[in-house]
């Protein structure tokens, strides 16, 4: 049986992005399912009031949504995203050389350009590095917390990393089918100019994101009040936060943008499948960044966030 696996992966990312956007635009969904951690305790009151009026005559719907919203998992389960990402990266690199089922899951349209073997290997390796770094940060930087998140967040996160583990190599299948694997594949080939530019962007964005994560972790430790077992959050003043209120989210977007450029098939400037993944990342983190900006405004005052972008300068 043949089907267009590339189209399936792309559609899944775009579909997930649409679901996140709808969840944000509908007040009944936004107040219940999108806020988590520190933001969940101070949900937008205007949205809550608007929702109550809208559901005044449909309490049955509200009851169902409330029941779904109560399905929570520990916020520390974020770590599982990166464990899954690393595990699947290692799984695919051990399975793909066998090529036993690649023809069965690939596409009928063989006219679609393919990634080169060099770019396929490099993209896979960088995705592995991204997963390893984020896993290490979760294990080494994060402190035990009682914060929770809606189970749907966790499932969507798992979906994304499972999808990315495939998206990173799926457009290189034609080259993989023709390639004869050997020990020489362990050699590191210097990438071309386009790939080199996106590689530098990946490294720069990864470094800045790590610095932001380390800073936020230290900020939380300094803000922790042992007498009340609560965290008195402080407004971040790390240089990267002068760019926007969530530079770690912005760097995440740049990381996937760099992967899309680096994994571009022959004759193209970007990998369309990873661009679809980027669309999901921008939508998901953009919605979270807007919520973070609102929380900062309530916590520290509107002047603290005045003129500052939530995630993307001059855009969002």
Distance CA 302, CA 93 (A): 49
pLDDT of residue 203: 98
264 inside domain: yes
Note the pTM of the prediction, 2 decimals.
Answer: 0.89
pLDDT of residue 262: 95
Alpha-carbon distance values, 84 to 23, 135, 159 (Å)? 25, 10, 10
314 inside domain: no
Q: Is 73 helix (H, G, I), strand (E, B) or coil?
A: strand
User: Exposed/middle/buried for 260, CB within 10 Å: 0-12, 13-18, 19+?
Assistant: buried
Q: What is the DSSP letter of 208?
A: H
**74 DSSP β-pair partners:** 148
Domain count within the chain:
1
Of 42, 50, 75, 45, nearest in space to 295 by CA: 42
Per the structure, the complete domain to which residue 233 belongs is given by 5-305
Alpha-carbon distance values, 67 to 30, 56, 87, 151 (Å)? 15, 17, 33, 12
pLDDT of residue 220: 75
310 inside domain: no
144 inside domain: yes
Distance CA 291, CA 37 (A): 11
Helix spans in 3-77 (H): 5-25, 27-29, 45-54, 59-69
pLDDT of residue 144: 74
202 inside domain: yes
Distance CA 240, CA 18 (A): 30
Q: Please answer whether residues 151 and 72 qualify as being in contact, where contact means their C-beta atoms are separated by less than 8 angstroms.
A: yes
156 inside domain: yes
311 inside domain: no
| List of E strands, the chain | 72-74, 148-150, 224-225, 230-231
Query: Per-10-residue mean pLDDT for the chain, 316 residues long?
Result: 78 96 89 68 50 55 82 90 97 77 56 85 96 96 82 94 96 84 74 92 98 91 59 84 96 98 94 98 96 92 93 94
Alpha-carbon distance values, 223 to 7, 137, 226, 257 (Å)? 47, 19, 10, 34
Distance CA 176, CA 97 (A): 8
pLDDT of residue 100: 57
């Amino acid at each position: 049986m043949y089907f267009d696996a590339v189209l399936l992966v792309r559609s899944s990312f775009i579909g997930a992005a649409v679901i996140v956007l709808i969840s944000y635009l509908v007040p009944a969904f936004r107040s219940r399912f999108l806020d988590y951690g520190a933001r969940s305790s101070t949900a937008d009151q205007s949205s809550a009031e608007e929702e109550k009026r809208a559901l005044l005559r449909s309490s049955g719907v509200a009851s169902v949504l409330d029941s779904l919203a109560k399905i929570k998992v520990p916020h520390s389960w974020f770590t599982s995203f990166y464990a899954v990402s690393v595990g699947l990266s290692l799984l695919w690199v051990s399975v793909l050389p066998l090529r036993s089922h690649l023809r069965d899951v690939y596409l009928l349209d063989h006219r679609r350009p393919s990634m080169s073997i060099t770019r396929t290997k490099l993209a896979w390796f960088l995705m592995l590095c991204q997963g390893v770094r984020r896993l290490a940060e979760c294990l080494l930087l994060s402190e035990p917390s009682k914060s929770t998140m809606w189970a749907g967040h966790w499932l969507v996160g798992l979906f994304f990393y499972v999808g990315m583990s495939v998206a990173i190599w799926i457009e290189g299948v034609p080259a993989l089918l023709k390639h004869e694997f050997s020990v020489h594949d362990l050699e590191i080939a210097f990438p071309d100019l386009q790939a080199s530019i996106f590689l530098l962007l990946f490294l720069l964005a990864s470094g800045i994101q790590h610095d932001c994560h380390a800073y936020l972790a230290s900020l939380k430790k300094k803000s922790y009040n042992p007498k009340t077992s609560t965290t008195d959050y402080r407004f971040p003043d790390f240089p990267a936060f002068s760019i926007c209120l969530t530079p770690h989210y912005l760097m995440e977007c740049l990381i996937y943008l760099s992967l899309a450029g680096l994994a571009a098939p022959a004759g193209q400037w970007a990998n369309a499948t990873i661009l679809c993944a980027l669309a999901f990342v921008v939508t998901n983190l953009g919605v979270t960044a807007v919520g973070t900006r609102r929380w900062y405004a309530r916590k520290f005052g509107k002047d603290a966030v005045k003129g500052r972008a939530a995630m993307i300068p001059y855009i969002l």
